Structure 1
């Protein structure tokens, strides 16, 4: 994609948020891209944001398996650390009860029951070494999560609104935090 093409596609509001829809071969559909510019009066897509868009658009459909794995992992984690009010049947664990109630058998179910919200890019990340984008998904466990893309590679998921700078030095930051939480249970 040529930068001028993207610039012409994006519509900006009065608080520096721009949107457009772009085709992603990863999902085989047009996806909402949301751009956050710190310059409210003259919002624009920075060079780094443009490169991050190119990164996202180049993610191949083969990466869909990883997306499904991450969404499934999020469901398992959510059901282990939170109580959604599912009552366990005799001989059933807390996790099994939640998977049964949410009708989730595997990653395919978790993916099918999730909703793709869009891709988010923020010029506040321009001061970081890496190029970042977030694929926002409302997961099958009803949590809004972000699939983190760093330099064109899907690295992990975390809660929506996560501090991307934490992934700069350690791409596994969120996974380490999840494991820490689980180790204390």
Structure 2
């Protein structure tokens, strides 16, 4: 079953056999365009980056908490507790937000597959590949991943004992890892969508 704000699944084959083929084809084209936009549109890319930004904010609080605890004085420990609570207050909802997005992506992918199998329309199916959007996702993810990897390894390579604290190194390496993981998810999503579209077009 689809969510109320998602397109419905296609009618069963025995029901479609009694329906007007023109209507079925129009519905299929409309829902495939809508689902493809929900799966790989620029809005989805911005949503992924928004989730990443929230994780970065939460990790910043965690990093400040670690650095405050490292200082050793009681007042800094109090601030460290405050930062730790703020970090948890940001990261936990961000985790639920990410899980909701992953579940939503699975629902969209199931509906895409179901509607793609509900008929054949070369004019509609050829647009499912969305090479421009896939390239946008891949290039932006590559740039973000390069920044994340550079941040992670540069901080680890240039850290000096007695000058850089463990908290600072952990903080910047965590930022780099969040950026790198976000880029990996974006690139994987673009590649998976393109492979699926090619298979669906070939099958139909």
Q: TM bucket by the smaller chain?
A: under 0.3
Bigger RCO (CA 8 Å, 6+ sep) = 2
Higher strand share: 1
Higher helix share: 2
TM-score normalised to the size of structure 1? 0.22
